[in-house]
Structures are given as C-alpha cells and as structure tokens.
Structure 1
Amino acid sequence: MRDGSLNLDDFEDLIERPDSGLRRDAEDRRARTALPVKALGRLDELGGWLAAAQSSVPVRPVVSPRLVLFAGDHGVAELGVSGRAAGTARQLVQGVLDGESPGVILARRLGVEVRVVDMSVDCAEDELPPDVTRHRVRRSSGRLDFEDTLTAEEAEQAFRAGMAVADEEADAGTDLVVLGDLSVGGTTAAGTLIATLCGTDASVVTGRGGAGIDDLAWMRKCAAIRDGLRRARPVQGDQLELLATVGGADLTAMTGFLLQCAARRTPVILDGVVSGACALVAQRVAFRAPDWWLAGQANDEPALGKALDRMALEPLTEHGVSVGGGVGALLALPLVQAAAQLAAELPELPEQQDDAEDGDGDGDGPSGGAGAASALDAT
C-alpha cells in the first residue's frame, strides 16, 4: 500500500510503559500519610498512575492540560447515518472558535486551553483560521461503505500530522491532553474500526451517535458499518491501510497523535467512541501504548464499551454524555487533577520511634501502637 517510509512497527520499540518502580514508591509514600489505605478510592490509583507517567514522586500537580479536538467530515454521512447533515463539521468547529460549544464552555470553566485541528472539514480553507487548517489533508473523507476514505498518501500524511501535533503539545509543556473530536459521520467510522478489531457484527457496535438518530437512521448506520466491515476485514492486519480504508483523515490523525503522545510520555484522557476507536487501533500498533491513556467516561455507545473492555481501561465517569467535543473527558479532568494534588501535597507522618528503644513495650503512651491506631481510626 505504501512505500515503507512510515513504519508503524517502530512504535513498539519507542513506547515504554510508565515507571512501575515509581508507582510502587508513590504507593509507599501514600501509605505513610495519615489517611487509611484505600480511603481515597480511585484517587489513590490515579495518583500512582500519575507518578509512573510523570516519573516523579511526589506527583506534580497537573497545571497545563490542553483540550485537543480533531475535526473532519465523513462521506458516509451522505447516507443519513448522523443526526447532523453531511458536510456540517464546520459548524462544530465554528462553535468552538466562537466559545459557544459545550466542550469549550467547560474548558473555559476549568481553565483549559483548546486547540482545534482541521483534518478534513468540508469547507474552503479560508473559511477557518490558518492555525486550524494548516494540517488539513482533504475536504471530507470518502464513503467507507464502498470506497477508501483516504489514499495511501493521504493516510500517511494524516498520521504524520497527528504525530506532529503530539510533538508540538509535548514541546509546549502540555502535561495532560484531553482528546476529543468534532466530526460528522465519525461514530460510523469508529464503529466500523471497533467491530473489525473486536470481531463483532455491525449491530453489536451501532449506537445512536452524539447527535442522536431515530430507528430508521440507526438501520442505515448499521448497514453502512456492515458494508464497511466487508471492506475492512481483509486489511485489518495493516493498521495504516485499515485507517485509509474506513477511518478517514481525522481518525487517522488521532491514532498517530495517541501513539506519539505515548512515545513522548504525555498522558491522555480519552473522550468517547471516536477517540476510543483510535486508541484501539493504536493498541494494535504498540501494545504498551494504552498504559498512557485514561478512559474519561462510559456512555450509551456500545462500541465504546467494546473498545475499552478490549484495552482493559476502566472509565472514570459514567454520565451518559455522548455529545462529543471532549465533554465527557473534560468532566473526568477534575478527578485526575484532584488525584494529582492530593498525591503531591498529602504530608507524610513523622517516623515513629520503636517502642523497644523507649523501654515501654505496652504501647499505651501517646506514640504507642494503640494510640496511633486510634488516631487513624478516628480519621
């Protein structure tokens, strides 16, 4: 399919797991605080994960997160598989630029900077700012039900664009990425990828999408995924060819972005089914990559549940959010930031002297074992 200049197998060597030794150090430090073990629930687990990802004990607070949104139209939307009209991703992008979309409203509330990356929005380039369109590959992606969504050259260009964005974020000091999409027809492409890699039928992964669809549109979407599956299954062993066949420019770029973030040791919170599908493809490229990602949410999209289960990622929230644009992942961000802050600032207890050195083995004094246990119980 391609000339070999982009070898995805290299990621297998480039991506290492977060430092498990530092994770154990973080757990030991946590055990030396006044709070009982497991008192913070999932926050303790997140604190250990952050220590390993940051290679730092104590954990550093998350101070420079960024919401990165990849945008694109999908030709399959012409079949009426989305609650939005085909070719209207520009409206989603404009809503972000105008500060009116749910994702950007939440990001503003949380103090998170937002970046939009147009990969295949179906409008003239001069209709959007140059910093949004500079990585664009084409106007809309092909119809996955009967044609490739990208040429081989376009797939490589989109993948490399995603890698470049990841490098730019890492170099800018972004310490956590919240990843989302602004797509029309993207959940159909995502469902096709997930069904292909999980070996399931179209009906098992077909959801209602972020815009919501009626039963007739659901049947059209299911048929489109079924037709896409027939084309995708023969090429599922080559992940870049798979993305070119049914993924489209935005999903291809997101896959490259996720892999390069893992290579650059930049943690990522995944949003919905589109980012989940890209993560599943990336896992096929480098099996250690999911250790750098958090699942921001679970929702009613059946394909998302399939993808997260395959990657053994446990969602941080479950609010039924399917609107896209990073909203579900943004809702999980305060939880991650809280875990970081607690892991960074919880003080360790001073070391206790051995009772035997005091010549008092009954443990009844203020520094005795019974007294210490009572203090913890009271906490």
Structure 2
Amino acid sequence: MADKMHWLYQPAPAPDQSARHAATARQKQLIKPEGALGRLESIAIDFAGFQGRERPQLEHLSVRVFGADHGIAAQGTSRFPQAVTSVMLNIFCEGGAAINVLSREHNADFAAINLGCVVPVEHPELIDEFIAPSTADFSQSNAAMTQTQLVCALNAGRRQSSNSDCFIGGDMGIGNTASAAAIFAALFDLKVVDITGRGTGIDDEVLARKVELIESALEQHRSALSSPLDILRILGGFEIAALVGAFIANAQRSTPVLVDGFMATAAAAIAGAINPSVKPWLLYAHLSDEFGHKLALECMGVSPMLNFNMRLGEGTGAVLAVSIIRQALNLHNKMFTFSEAGVPIAD
C-alpha cells in the first residue's frame, strides 16, 4: 500500500527566487512609498515566484468542492441531517450555492466531487469518486478510514490538480468540523475544548457532547496517532483527505493553492506535515469565524488575508480573496515607476 502513496513525498519545486527578487525590485520602483501597499505587495511578489516572472497574472482559476459524509455525525454533533450533504452536492452542480455565485464572477473552472454520501446523489455534472457512504465513526474505537479508503481519497484529490494560475479546494460534509478539530488537536497537541467550535450552530449541550466525543476518541486512538497520515486516516474525512491530496499535487505542479477555512486549513496542516516542500505554495485566504481557526493558524505560523466573519466552507472565503489578489497584481503590473512618472528619487 505504501507504494501507492509514494507520490505524496515527491518534493514540490521551490518558487522562483530570481522572479521574486525582480518583483521586489519593481515594488521599490513603483510610485509610492516603499511598503505603502502592505500585504498587497507581498502577494504580488509571491505570485511572481509562483509563475517565474516579474509581472504575474491571475487569469485561470480552478475551484473544486469535495463532498462526503462523516460517521461521527451519527452521534448528533450537527444541527442538520446527513442528507444535507447530498442536497448541497446537487445544488453545487445546479449552480445555486454561494461558491457557484462567487466562482462565476471569476469565470472559474468549477466542479463538485462526490466521495461518498449516506443519501445517494446523482447529477450529470457531478464527478463520481465514491468510496463509501461515509467514514466510520472514529469516536467508537474505529479508524475513520481504512488504508485503502485513505489511498482512494488522496488520489481522488490528486486527480483534480490543475495547471491553472491558482487552485481552490472547498469542502462539504455534515460532521466535518468534529473531524477537523480532532485533527488539529492531535497534530498540534491542543486541548480539544480550545479548538472545537459550534459548526452548523449547535447549542451548548451539543457542543459539550462534541468535545467529550473528540476527547474520548483521542484517548482511544492515542497510541496509533503517530504520523500525519495516521492522524488523517483515523480522524479525518474523505473530503479532507481529498483536499490533502489536491494541495500536495497542485504544489508539485507549481500551482499555488488558496486555502479556505477550518476544514481546508486542517487539510493544509496535514499536507504540510506530510510534505513540507508544499508549504510555500499554500496561501491562507481568510480567518474563519469557526471557533478554533485562529488558534490553528497561529500554530501553523501563517496569516490569513481577510476577516469577514465567514464560516460557510465550500471554498467561499478563498474565492472572495481572489479579487484582492487580482487587484494586488494589477497594482504591481500597471502602476508607473518613479522613472516613468518623471519623479526624481532623493539619494
């Protein structure tokens, strides 16, 4: 089985340093005080390194939403039934969800992928990567996935990697905030209560039950949580594993990834732990309003671009950030330099 996952460890190329240096030099020549555009300047420099050119563009955007159900949802950790996962996958294909509206604004290449739902879903536009109706309930002494299922999910994500200018991976799955919280707690040795939030809007009683279930699961599985892949297999979901595979594969193809919220960040944390060479290719779009996301980002040492109190998932926060990136590149590429403006620079 290990030979089917060897690709995970193949190094991603480093961003082009000469292009980064050229872009940095251009930023210093633009008609503004150095650093006056703040984060917009570093975004432009990052994309110069990604694309290997001084003046990068963001023209082609790829958006993929991975959907799957979670066994732990049977413990009542969500306000909504698992049928919602199937309903939302169908709506993605019909073009009626928030992620569809935002993706259309950018003419993104969009698709939804079914990895396994309790309620069957079929649509001609839906990509079928069915593994099982759901993961196993990791709170009941079971690993969420078998080794074979983990491989299938990782490779499903890999197949969605692209040669676009930027990749965004979204998630849909009732019960997935419990899975993501468990991953963060195991990976960063956090207290469960500090990383576990209300997900779909559960009340205090259900939240306390959710925390208790995750704490119990971590204790049951503690001896087996010895590697990032083990953490993913035992505590993760099919859609989170697919995001891990997609993030690693995109970085290996020199395609930058814009990471969305709580679930996507859990996938990014696992991807970076498995293969540290992918980390420079992962940019964090926004601070989710899901409790625990801020702590997770701090543990990873990364800063999100936006904070709009969003917690929808689907990739929505990441697609929203594309507008900011495009403006950063427009400023970088189209502003006059001091020389072009005829403005002398004091020695």
Sort the TM-score into its range (normalised by shorter chain). over 0.9
1:192 paired residue among 172, 175, 182: 182
Write out aligned runs for 1:52-131 (5 A).
52-59=49-56, 61-124=57-120, 127-129=121-123
Structure 1 unmatched runs, 5+: 353-366, 375-379
1:310-366 deviations in whole A, cap 9, x for unaligned?
2222110011100111121122110111112222333444489xxxxxxxxxxxxxx
Partners of 1:100 and 1:227 in 2: CA distance: 39
Partners of 2:108 and 2:127 in 1: CA distance: 21
1:357 match: none
1:181 match: 171
2:145 match: 150
Partners of 2:252 and 2:220 in 1: CA distance: 31
8 Å Cα contact 1:207-1:303 kept in structure 2: yes
> Do the aligned partners of residues 81 and 157 (structure 1) sit closer, same or farther apart at CA in structure 2, a change above 3 Å counting?
same
1:1-23 deviations in whole A, cap 9, x for unaligned?
xx322345x54442233123321
Write out aligned runs for 1:1-379 (5 A).
3-8=1-6, 11-59=8-56, 61-124=57-120, 127-129=121-123, 132-146=126-140, 147-166=142-161, 169-170=162-163, 174-209=164-199, 211-350=200-339, 372-373=344-345
TM-score by length of 2: 0.93
8 Å Cα contact 2:111-2:127 kept in structure 1: no
> Do the aligned partners of residues 111 and 232 (structure 1) sit closer, same or farther apart at CA in structure 2, a change above 3 Å counting?
farther
Alignment RMSD: 2.1
> Would you say how many aligned residue pairs link Structure 1 and Structure 2?
345
Partners of 2:124 and 2:232 in 1: CA distance: 26
Find runs of 4+ consecutive structure 1 residues off by over 3 angstroms: 10-13, 347-352
8 Å Cα contact 1:88-1:122 kept in structure 2: no
TM-superposed CA distance for 1:227, in Å, is 2.4
Determine which structure has more spread, i.e. the larger CA radius of gyration: 1
Partners of 1:87 and 1:63 in 2: CA distance: 36
1:364 match: none
TM-score by length of 1: 0.85
Indicate the percent of aligned positions where both proteins have the same amino acid: 24
Partners of 2:70 and 2:236 in 1: CA distance: 9
- Equivalent residue letter for 1:220: R
Partners of 2:111 and 2:310 in 1: CA distance: 21
1:97-119 deviations in whole A, cap 9, x for unaligned?
22221221222233333211111
Structure 2 unmatched runs, 5+: none
- Equivalent residue letter for 2:59: V
